[in-house]
Amino acid sequence: MRNIDLKSLRLFVAVCETGNLKSAAEQEHIEPSAVSKRLASLEASCGAQLLVRHRSGAKPTPEGQAMLEHARAVMFTMSKAEADLAAFKKGIQGHVRLVASASAIAESLLDEVSAFMLLPEHEQIQVDIEEKISRDIVQAVRDGQAQLGICWENIDLNGLASRPYRTDELVLAVPVGHALAKKKRISFEESLAFSHVGLPPSTAVSTMLSRVAAQAGKRLVFRAVVSNFDSAFRVVTAGLGVSIVPREVGQIYVANQLVKTIALTDSWAKRRFVICFRSHQELTPASKSLIDFLTTKIFRTLV
């Protein structure tokens, strides 16, 4: 079967789909006699009769039906390859759906994606970003609802491929003038003596903090539960509690002397994030370009 060419496969598929040689010839802009000659050559290469000819047309034999499935797969692969190459010639085009955790979105992801889309070669790429909790991020990518996901690397990726994205640092945010405000470093366990402001229990951060508190034999008491880190900082600023938050998110509050952030001595406070996806083979040119852009500076540490 080494001598099979794409033109013959295309003509074979056209005959099977139209039901006769004449219609296939018109569709492919070729003489019917040339179609017949190519099909005979294809059958000789395969060593099997692929079509049954009759007065009204032609239909595939059982062997031909099996060959038709493979031929369609080859045509699809070649069509996708041509489209991908054409996309690179014009500047990459495409639509990327990205799901990410609250931490990733609250930090620098939005700025980075904006910078990516502003590049002239990416002006035809659309990127949609949706916030989800970590387990739903993995599920959305596995189900094909999103091409890319960004989440904490400690989450079970359930077989997904991944690339390192960045690191961040969780810190304790306290109101200015709080009893802990003069400390430079503190353990999470020490902070449990005070009421916390946290995210919903379904989030990765909240789940992890509750587990760590339980392992220490203590209880994490929430004065308030809010939907995102920005809201947590606002509640801390109001003096209603302390909160475990990413250092980068709180920079503006610290700069304006609205809160104080204290480094945590716990090893889990340094987090690594990954970009997850189903497989390298399934990535579109647009998705590949976005991954490459986001991972240019691998493991950037926010301090």
**Which pLDDT belongs to residue 135?**
86
Helix (H) or strand (E) holding 167: strand 161-175
pLDDT tens digits for 65-101?
Answer: 999 989 888 888 888 777 666 655 655 678 899 999 9
Kindly give the residue spans of alpha helices, DSSP state H, lying in 2-160. Answer: 6-18, 21-28, 32-46, 62-90, 102-104, 110-118, 134-142
The verdict on domain 169-269 having CATH code 3.40.190.10 is: yes
Instruction: Return the C-alpha torsion angle 191, 193, 199, 203, nearest 10.
Output: 70
Ordered by start, the domain boundaries in the chain are 6-89, 92-166+271-294, 169-269
**Which pLDDT belongs to residue 303?**
35
The verdict on domain 92-166+271-294 having CATH code 3.40.50.300 is: no
Contacts of 38 (CB under 8 A, 6+ apart): 7, 8, 11
Question: For the residues 290-296, what does the mean pLDDT come to?
Answer: 92
Classify domain 6-89 by CATH number: 1.10.10.10
Closest Cα to residue 134, out of 257, 226, 271, 231? 271
| pTM, two decimal places | 0.62
Cα Rg for the chain, rounded, in angstroms? 29
Backbone angles phi, psi at 40, to 5 degrees: -65, -40
pLDDT tens digits for 7-28?
Answer: 889 999 999 999 988 898 888 8
pLDDT tens digits for 124-165?
Answer: 899 999 999 888 999 999 999 999 999 988 888 989 999 999
**Which pLDDT belongs to residue 89?**
60
Which residue did the predictor score with more confidence, 193 or 103?
Answer: 193
DSSP, residue by residue, 239-276: TS-BEEEETGGGHHHHHTTSEEEEEE-SGGGEEEEEEE
Domains 92-166+271-294 and 169-269 share a fold: yes
